[in-house]
Structures are given as C-alpha cells and as structure tokens.
Amino acid sequence: MTRPAETPLDSLPVELVASMKQAGLSATQVYSTVAAAVAEDLPGEDVTSAATIDPAQRATADLVARADGVLAGLDVAETVFRYVVGDVARIVRHVEDGATVTRSDVLLTVTGPVDLLLTAERTALNFLCHLSGVATGTAAWVRALEGTSAKVRDTRKTTPGLRMLEKYAVRCGGGVNHRTTLSDQALVKDNHVLAAGGVVAAYEAVRSRYPDLRVQVEVTDLDQLRELLDAGCAEILLDNMATARMAEAVAVTAGRARLEASGGLDLTRAREVAETGVDYLAVGALTHSATVLDIAMDLRAGDPA
C-alpha cells in the first residue's frame, strides 16, 4: 500500500484533538492543511516506495533533532502520520512543543508499515522543521530582551495558509501574537493615514465605525505621536525611528499608550530598542524569514518490537 489511509478527522485520537485545542489550534484547520499538503505530494502513488517496499513490512522510525532549538509542530506532524498511516500507526512523543531540544534528541517515535512511514516522512518533517524554526528564531529574540519589559511580537507577514500554525510557533518560542486577521484589530498604517487626511482623522474614523475594536496607529514622528495621545489613542506603532527618537517617544508618551517599535529591526538592535522602554518589538522576520530547524527521520533496522 503506497496510498495514504486518509484517516477522517473524527477518527483522530481524542488526546490529539484535545492537545490542539489546548494549544489554541483548530483541529479542523490543522487536518485540512495536512490533507492539502499530502495531496500536493501524492497526485498518484508513492512510486519509489511502491517499487521497493513490501506493503506488509513494518518498522519503527524516530524523528531526531539534528540541531539545537525550540520545538513546535508535534501535533501537526502526528496528524500527518495519522492521516497517511491510519489507525495502525503507533506513536509515542518524547518531548512537547515549546521544549528546548539538543542535537540527537529523539522527539517522536512512530511504528507502522514502512511504505506509509516513508510516504508521510517529508510532509511531517516540512511542518515540524519549519514551525520549530519559527519557534527557535523567536526564542533568540526573547533571550535578547531578557531583563527588559519589552516583548517580541509577530506580524501578518506569514506563509499563505500557515498563519495559524506560524503564530502558534511564535508562542512556542515565547513571543506574542499581534492581530491574526484584518478583522480582529485595526492597524492604521501610512497609506490609511494618507487616504484619511491625517493620523487623528484616520484614528477617529475607525473609532466611529468600530467603537469596541482595538486600534493601533502608525506614526513616523513625534508630532503625530502627540496628536494621537491627545486624541486618546492607546496603541501606537513607531515606524522606522532611530533608537534615540524612540526613547523620546517613550518619554513623551509617559505611559498613556502602549508603544511598538517597527521597521528594520534585527537582533543586533533588539536590546537597545527594548531599553528605550517600548512595550513591543514588531518582527516580521519571525515568520517570513525563519530558518528551519534540522530534524530527520531515522528508520530503525529490523522488525518493530
């Protein structure tokens, strides 16, 4: 057998579904994303496995870290194996998401038909390596900000179709999520300001139409900042400001609004920006430029126990 079992959503173990819910993930969305990824890999059958492996042959495989990092995506990887291998799969986790792992750590062990294990391998690893890369990169920012009151926050610069998972990975790394969609919070940026005729006009237009919605407004100078503070804006984005200017902005604000630094930030500046007293650092690179964490699947020799 070299076609996936295509295990239905309602056949996933209740523990797995509960784990996703606890993590703030939709099991339905995870399942749909996994099914689409498997379908992308298998328009027909896995021709290599079909030609080389006896469908009756079973084995055990370990997912093993090849580098140090922070783990994210085990629920997704397990869903891939459940979807492809079916209820004959036996899966054991050795760590949990959010854990710091080191090279050679065994993360998850799965037993089942060899051909289906190999069919599922790359899809499971693609999710696990990428999401763990996001978590690992986020954790580096969190370490850089230790001892300050600032938190690193993600953006909507995510991989289409993977936003829910990538934002979850940011949380696994210790970061904070900004808005998830264009509907759950207003973010007034420079083009909105230009179209509306000014920062206050844009802010008040949003407040008028959506009085109960959180609103954050982007500013590029201290005059705009003062205008918004006088208008009662409680969340302000400092766009591409020099560190010294951010410190001035914090002093001007004097706790009247939450401030977020944005634009051109990297780890070399993280500490100095945080020490200005801003509340958040917006870092799109957490998701749009994440380096994957190297994780591999090692098939054990011999029959499974």
Main-chain dihedrals φ then ψ at residue 296, nearest 5 degrees: -130, 165
Which position among 90, 122, 151, 256 bears the catalytic label? Answer: 122
Active-site residue identified among 3, 90, 157, 256: 157
State yes or no: is 153 an active-site residue.
no
Torsion of CA 69, 75, 78, 79, to 10 degrees: -140
Which residue is catalytic, options 46, 239, 260, 279? 239
Whether 157 is catalytic: yes
Helix axes 199-209 and 222-231, enclosed angle (nearest 10): 30
Measure the CA angle with vertex 180, ends 177 and 181; round to 5°. 155
Identify whether 189 is a catalytic site residue.
Answer: yes
Angle at CA 12, nearest 5°, toward 6 and 13?
A: 150
For the question of residue 239 being annotated catalytic, the response is yes
Concatenated DSSP letters of the chain: --S-----GGGS-HHHHHHHHHTT--HHHHHHHHHHHHHHH-SS--HHHHHHS-TT-EEEEEEEESS-EE---HHHHHHHHHHHH-TT-EEEESS-TT-EE-TT-EEEEEEEEHHHHHHHHHHHHHHHHHHHHHHHHHHHHHHHTTTSS-EEE--S---TT-HHHHHHHHHHTT-B---SSSSSSEEE-HHHHHHHTSHHHHHHHHHHH-TTS-EEEEESSHHHHHHHHHHT--EEEEES--HHHHHHHHHHHTTSSEEEEESS--HHHHHHHHTTT-SEEE-THHHHTPPPP-EEEEEPSS---
**Catalytic residue of the set 189, 245, 269, 271:** 189
Q: Which of 75, 97, 105, 218 is catalytic?
A: 218
Catalytic residue list contains 209: no
Give catalytic residue positions: 122, 157, 189, 218, 239
